[in-house]
Structure 1
Amino acid sequence: MAIRTVLRLGDPRLRRVAAAVPAEAFGTAELGALLADLRDTMAARDGAGLAAPQIGVPLRLVIFGVTANPRYPEAPPIPQTVLINPLITPLGPDRSNGWEGCLSVPGLRGSVPRWSRIRYEGLDAEGRSLSREVAGFHARVVQHECDHLDGVLFPDRIEDRTAFGFTDELAAAGLLAAGLSPPEQ
């Protein structure tokens, strides 16, 4: 449908808590068009995911998925997923740090702690229940995208401020693999 502008850090719309998608929205042309715009926008930027608030739509809706992506050469595949009105539950106490970026925070990366294993639940594009238990990169992507629904961006989660900076500078310092840019969600 259309590639939308991705809001950037500093835009106050990124800090708002998104509203639930109402039941009457499922099956509408408006929801279908929004999903198409999210997919087109994510694909145009080689993203792993995108939340509706990132394109200025304050609804609790995210999309994510990775197959063969030049920005994620070593990432395991994640099925293309629409997740509406999500709920995330950690599965155990383990957390891990991983480098993250964001289409709304271009050019910057940071090491962010996330739950290692989670269950996510919500609705798919047709309003059917969806529930998965995931770990690793898949769990990280879902947590990152769902944070956007609560007005949280990855820099808010960074605990070690020395592990945050511009991609090129982090790579030059040896903190990131040479020639490999960590993914922007």
Structure 2
Amino acid sequence: MAVRPIKIMGDPVLHSPAAPVDEVTDDIRVLVADMFETMDAAPGVGLAAPQVGVALRIFVYSHLDDDEHPWRGVVINPELWVSPSVPGEPDPDLESEGCLSFPGERFPLRRAERAMLTGTDLEGEHVWVQVEGWRARILQHEFDHLDGIIYIDRVDDADWKTAQKIARKRGWGRPGCSWMPGEDDLEA
């Protein structure tokens, strides 16, 4: 297992739909182990394969809720269904997100309150996850990465403009930008 560099906004792998996984091979198993290690080192609550430069439809997730019940897994070739989003402005205190591919920043974003996800795991077994609240937000955020969408692509116009200014100032928005969890001094 190894920590991998995380791609930053502007790298083409983050802005294109990822390909389905045809077969779970030893290379896929190593990738997933590396993704868990990278996510934990960042630290993050989710990580999609495109974020480590691999354009495949895989993501990992991990979250401890208030009762400290672990929620951790991998989904390969996921399909996602969400409840309708409530219209209106997102609450900046309750609905802000960060992203390891736009590190150190958080912006409010309205997401669906409930999500259901299906796919397979590393053993080829069917995965079915139905969650709400923060966990639903995690699934939606990571699923977006598989479709070439970064959360800042979804924020309101004012926050999008702020994000673009931050990206320019930091030299992001171009191919090849990445950071290494545990080595670089960045927070998401």
- TM-score if structure 2 supplies the norm length? 0.77
Aligned counterpart in structure 2 of residue 90 of structure 1, from 82, 87, 90: 82
Q: Is the CA contact 1:117–1:139 (under 8 Å) kept in the aligned structure 2?
A: yes
Distance, in Å, in 2 between the alignment partners of 1:79 and 1:3 is 21
| Partner residue, 1:12 | 12
Distance, in Å, in 2 between the alignment partners of 1:90 and 1:115 is 6
**CA distance 1:75–1:60, change in 2 (3 Å):** farther
**CA distance 1:141–1:78, change in 2 (3 Å):** farther
Deviates most, 152-161 or 131-140: 152-161
Structure 1, unaligned runs of 5 or more: 69-73, 167-182
Distance, in Å, in 2 between the alignment partners of 1:138 and 1:35 is 20
State the 1:91 CA deviation: 3.0
Identical amino acids, percent of aligned pairs: 38
**CA distance 1:143–1:76, change in 2 (3 Å):** farther
| Partner residue, 1:117 | 114
Q: Is the CA contact 2:63–2:71 (under 8 Å) kept in the aligned structure 1?
A: yes
Aligned counterpart in structure 1 of residue 72 of structure 2, from 77, 80, 91: 80
- TM-score if structure 1 supplies the norm length? 0.78
**CA distance 1:100–1:78, change in 2 (3 Å):** farther
Q: What is the total number of aligned residue pairs between the two structures?
A: 160
State the 1:75 CA deviation: 9.4
Select the structure with the greater relative contact order (CA < 8 A; seq sep ≥ 6): 2
Distance, in Å, in 1 between the alignment partners of 2:69 and 2:144 is 21
State the 1:124 CA deviation: 1.2
Distance, in Å, in 1 between the alignment partners of 2:67 and 2:86 is 21
Indicate the SS of the match to 1:113.
coil
Mapped pair 1:42 → 2:39:
yes
**CA distance 1:55–1:91, change in 2 (3 Å):** same
**CA distance 1:2–1:114, change in 2 (3 Å):** same
**What RMSD over aligned residues (CA atoms) do the two structures have, in Å?**
2.4
Mapped pair 1:105 → 2:97:
no
Indicate the SS of the match to 1:143.
helix
Query: Alpha-carbon deviations, 1:44-93, whole Å to 9, x = none?
Result: 1111010000001000000001238xxxxx69755111011111111345
Q: Is the CA contact 1:75–1:137 (under 8 Å) kept in the aligned structure 2?
A: no
| Partner residue, 1:21 | 21
Which amino acid in structure 2 is aligned with residue 10 of structure 1? G
**CA distance 1:66–1:60, change in 2 (3 Å):** same
Q: Is the CA contact 1:110–1:165 (under 8 Å) kept in the aligned structure 2?
A: no
Which amino acid in structure 2 is aligned with residue 112 of structure 1? L
**CA distance 1:164–1:80, change in 2 (3 Å):** farther
Mapped pair 1:158 → 2:150:
no
